[in-house]
């Protein structure tokens, strides 16, 4: 019950708006002062990282899992 009240309050006072896997990834990169190159060892080549960051490629389930482990968050944040 308390959690539901807190979530309701946060939703009303601090709406997050529409989040996407890419916006979540970009937020985490910025929040941790990372660069694209920091993700090369996590999800693949520089080409793959660049395509994901630029919205030209979706994050695969395997990449989402790797990102979840890297950022220590639920991999579901990176899956649409």
Angle between helix axes 46-53 and 21-31 (nearest 10 degrees) is 110
pLDDT at 72: 96
pLDDT in tens, 21-69: 999 999 999 999 999 999 999 998 999 999 999 999 999 999 999 999 9
| In the chain, where the domains are located | 18-78
Distances (CA, A) of 44 to 63, 65, 74: 8, 13, 19
- Residue among 52, 2, 56 at smallest CA distance from 28: 52
Enter the pTM of the model. Answer: 0.77
Output the CATH code of domain 18-78: 1.10.260.40
């Amino acid at each position: 019950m308390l959690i539901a009240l807190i979530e309701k309050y946060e939703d009303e006072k601090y709406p997050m708006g529409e989040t996407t896997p890419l916006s979540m990834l970009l937020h985490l990169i910025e929040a941790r002062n990372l660069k694209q190159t920091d993700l090369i060892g996590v999800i693949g080549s520089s080409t793959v990282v660049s395509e994901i960051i630029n919205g030209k490629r979706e994050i695969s389930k395997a990449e989402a899992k790797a990102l979840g482990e890297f950022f220590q968050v639920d991999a579901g944040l990176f899956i649409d």
